[in-house]
Chains A and B, each alone.
Chain A
Amino acid sequence: MEGMSFEEALRQLEDILAMLESGELELEQSLRLFQSGMELSVYCQQMLKQAEGRIQQLTQKPDGEILLLEIDVKESE
């Protein structure tokens, strides 16, 4: 699951949910999917909490060097 995008994880979770709710699977398969589904939902929750709310500025200097710096933008009225 490591490196999976949020979109992909959420899509898989929704697929699993649909399969589980169809009720057409063998018990063993249901349990396996349930396990993966729970792991995916925890993964999604973690991803939501990953960003830190930073504001950064990306600039490229004339010599091609790329800088990413934290900036402070004043609240507007």
Chain B
Amino acid sequence: MQEFITVSELNNYIGGLLEGDLFLSNFWLKGELSGFKLYQQSGHMYFNLKDTDSLISCVMFKSRARGLAFKPEDGMEVLLRGTVSVFARQGKYQVYAEEMLPFGAGGLYLQLEKTKAKLQALGYFDPEHKQPLPRMVNRLGIVTSQDGAALRDILKVVRQRHALIDVVLVHSSVQGLEAPQELARGIELLNQQDSVDLIIVGRGGGSLEDLMAFNSEEVVRAIYQSHIPIISAVGHEVDYTLADLAADIRAATPTHAAQIAVPDVEGILNALAIYQQRMQRAIEKKLGYNSERLDRIMMRKIWSQPGIMIESRQKQVEVLEKGLRLAMSSGMQVRGQRLALAVTALDKLSPLKVLSRGYAIASKDGTVIHSSEQVEPGDQIDVTLYEGRLKVRVESKEGNPWKA
């Protein structure tokens, strides 16, 4: 009987050879991606790398794939670092990828520019689409990592300002393969719930690779589609991320974003107090003007005997009118005009005119009442109307409604 070994033994032997090889334990490989598959359940990525003549299958485990700064797609030229080993179950040797980058000088930048041009054409960065930020934020939404510095920086500002606002956090990874989807989902979730007034989306600073999630189409689209205003807050060294371009306001850092977002409650309360004062001044001026007009009439004490005063005024008016007619008819234009002015002036002063508009004069024992403090419930007071007078009993009284 021949000596033999089992299939497993052979695969193990070959595996041992490959694993013992120094070169195969760490090398960089360039090739074009094909047959790329991400298994949702395991999170592992399976794909081939090929050139014009040859192909090799590769696997990148979830733990490694998580650190990817870009989204692999078939046809993409990539550079990966890995080892070769045998997958004994299928008798197949393959590359186990440790890290992977888009190939070419500034591969990431190229990819970024491509995405930017595409999204720009879709109108995602249009200034006309930007929403104004609310001046008052009661509930602030934050989409970032629950363990990141960004969240702590934002909450620090909230505490510093002693702002009583509610913060709603949606946790998301902020780098790696899953980050774009999670960030976008966070923004969508806050929009669905519709309970926050403003959203901050961001993370602390990092390299271009770290920030690539904020350059992803998913995140930019979610920002564009959000009906809640969004501040982007990606602390970074590079000029911008695409998320910054799509956001309604871009903040340089999460701290800066919080300073924009968190209302200065003290300041708004002050502004409201000033508005109240200004309204009071305006209304007092209005009332003052009208009551002055009234006072001028009051001084003549017509309220005590309005009938007589009115009659005498009416007589005066009649006399003047007669004179006016006479003056006009006798061609004395100048005198006529002066008379006409006098008649108008008198007419304006006439208490009848004021009373006819619905004003009334309240008096007690011959004294005009200016304030509720001059009377007590039960007092009898006189009210002079345009037509007639009333004897009225005070039921109750209140202070000045304008002085809250």
Contact = CB atoms under 8 A, between A and B. Distances in A.
A58 B168 contact: yes
Interface string B237-255: 0000000000000000000
The 6 closest A-B CB pairs, nearest first, are A76-B152, A20-B282, A6-B136, A34-B283, A51-B138, A53-B164
Contacts of A38: 276, 279, 402, 404
Contact of A13 (B138, B153, B156, B275): B275
Contacts of B138: 6, 47, 50-51
A16 B279 contact: yes
A27 interface: yes
A4 interface: no
A20 B136 contact: no
Interface in A23-67: 23, 25, 27, 30-31, 34, 37-38, 41-42, 44-45, 47-60, 66
B272 A45 contact: yes
B182 to A, nearest CB: 11
Nearest to A7: B134
Nearest to B138: A51
A46 B158 CA distance: 20
B316 interface: no
Contacts of A60: 185, 189
Interface in B250-295: 265, 268-269, 272, 275-276, 278-279, 282-283, 285-287, 290
Chain A CB count within 10 A is highest, among B136, B146, B158, for B136
B169 interface: yes
A7 B275 CA distance: 15
A18 B175 CA distance: 50
B155 interface: yes
Contact of B193 (A7, A30, A52, A58): A58
A51 B152 contact: no
B167 interface: yes
B269 A59 contact: no
B275 A51 contact: no
Given A6-B138, A51-B138, A54-B166, A23 B285 contact: yes
A52 B272 contact: no
Interface in B137-167: 138-139, 141, 146, 149, 151-153, 155-156, 158-159, 163-167
Nearest to B188: A60
5 contacts: A20-B283, A21-B282, A38-B279, A53-B158, A55-B167
A41 B167 contact: no
Nearest to A44: B272
A1 interface: no
Given A7-B136, A60-B189, A66-B189, A71 B169 contact: yes
Interface of B: 134-136, 138-139, 141, 146, 149, 151-153, 155-156, 158-159, 163-171, 185, 189-190, 193, 265, 268-269, 272, 275-276, 278-279, 282-283, 285-287, 290, 402, 404
Given A34-B402, A38-B279, A41-B276, A58 B135 contact: no
Contacts of A14: 275
B37 to A, nearest CB: 22
B136 A76 contact: no
Nearest to B268: A48
B283 A49 contact: no
A4 to B, nearest CB: 12
Contact of B286 (A13, A23, A59, A71): A23
A20 B189 contact: no
A59 B282 contact: no
A47 to B, nearest CB: 7
A68 B193 CA distance: 10
Contacts of B166: 51-56
Nearest to A10: B135
Contact of A27 (B136, B190, B287): B287
Contacts of A2: none
A26 to B, nearest CB: 9
Chain A CB count within 10 A is highest, among B151, B185, B275, B278, for B275
Chain A CB count within 10 A is highest, among B155, B159, B269, B279, for B279
Contacts of A45: 269, 272
